[in-house]
Amino acid sequence: MTSAFDLLTSPAILFFVVGMAAAFARSDLHLPDQAAKTLSLYLMLCIGFKGGVEARLAGGGPDFAMTAALGLAFSALAPLIAYAALRRLTRLDRATICAMAATYGSVSVVTFAAAQQHLTSQGVDFAGYMAAVLALMETPAILTALILLNRAGRGQPGERAKVLREVFVNAAAVMLIGSFVVGMISGERGLERLEVFVGPLFQGALCFFLLDVGLIAARRLMADGRKMTPAVVGFALAFPVASAFLALILARQTGLAQGDATLLAVLAGSASYIAVPAAMRLAAPQADAGVYVSASLAVTFPFNLLIGISAYAATAAWLWA
């Protein structure tokens, strides 16, 4: 419980709360559009670069390859299921549904860190390459959501090729994929050169970014709070749990170790509130952050910290007993 409290009271999360409080108080606080876009690009550069470094450090062993394949499959396919469920259960607009789908296909770094702490306290071992699996799972969901948003797969072959090109040359995709490749190529030596830029400075930029996200989310909620319906809240609770338990079943069938399976389940059951908002700010600014960010941060994130992680770890212990 202490680690959950520490995470919920971390500066980045508290700045999100400050942003929401300022908006509810009708403050004129705001970040200029260009500054917000620059912050988004910076965060994606850091996320992609560090992920590439972690992937290179992990090497290409069979255990890592199997776990990475499962993680990539979850990240790429989960948005398709989420999209179909949200279209049936809610009346959200297409852009917001796609952003929600990306949110619940991508992952939360903070939730992953909390899960590592929990396993360590329980004496359960896990592989260091799980950090690379986390990095690999951040981007595919965003690409799948952008394809859904642009109606890829419909129309003439030439139109599909044009849509796919627009998805992969989009600023968010270029920054995430490009920085990931740079991280893989440069490895630890490159990380040493950019350590301050992608380390300590990242935390400060994240606080600014989540402050702005809090402002936007609260203002959109005030404008139309009816979108946070029971169906949306129910999805924010049920979908991550279903994804996590499916991940545990598949991990058991493929022979993953208990600790690695638990972390994979936590990743499958988490929701992004950094990478996806940063990408959607650029790729789909019309998507309602008041819905997809609030669902992730106000519903799924605290649920996982207080209940989900312990439940997934206990289920893994039972399955692997």
pLDDT at position 153 is 44
Query: In the numeric block, which tokens belong to residue 237?
Result: 């609770």
pLDDT at position 26 is 92
pLDDT, tens only, 235-273? 999 999 999 999 999 999 999 999 999 999 999 999 988
Report CA-CA distances (Å) from 317 to 84, 119, 121, 313. Answer: 32, 11, 14, 6
d(CA 87, CA 77): 16
CATH architecture of 32-319: Up-down Bundle (1.20)
Each domain of the chain, given as residue ranges in start order, spans: 32-319
d(CA 105, CA 92): 18
pLDDT at position 159 is 52
Residue where the block lists tokens 């998507």: 287
From the list 283, 292, 140, 159, the residue with the least C-alpha distance to 216 is 292
Q: What's the pTM value of the predicted model, to 2 decimals?
A: 0.77
pLDDT at position 7 is 59
Output b/e per residue, 72-81; b: 16+ Cβ within 10 A. bebbbebbbb
pLDDT, tens only, 89-104? 998 999 999 999 999 9
Asked if 149 and 94 touch (Cβ cutoff 8 Å), the reply is yes
Residue where the block lists tokens 């500066």: 11
pLDDT at position 2 is 43
- Distance of alpha carbon 44 from its chain centroid, rounded? 12
From the list 23, 26, 78, the residue with the least C-alpha distance to 250 is 78
Which segments in the chain show pLDDT lower than 70?
1-8, 60, 151-168, 170, 172, 224-225
pLDDT at position 100 is 95
- Distance of alpha carbon 30 from its chain centroid, rounded? 24
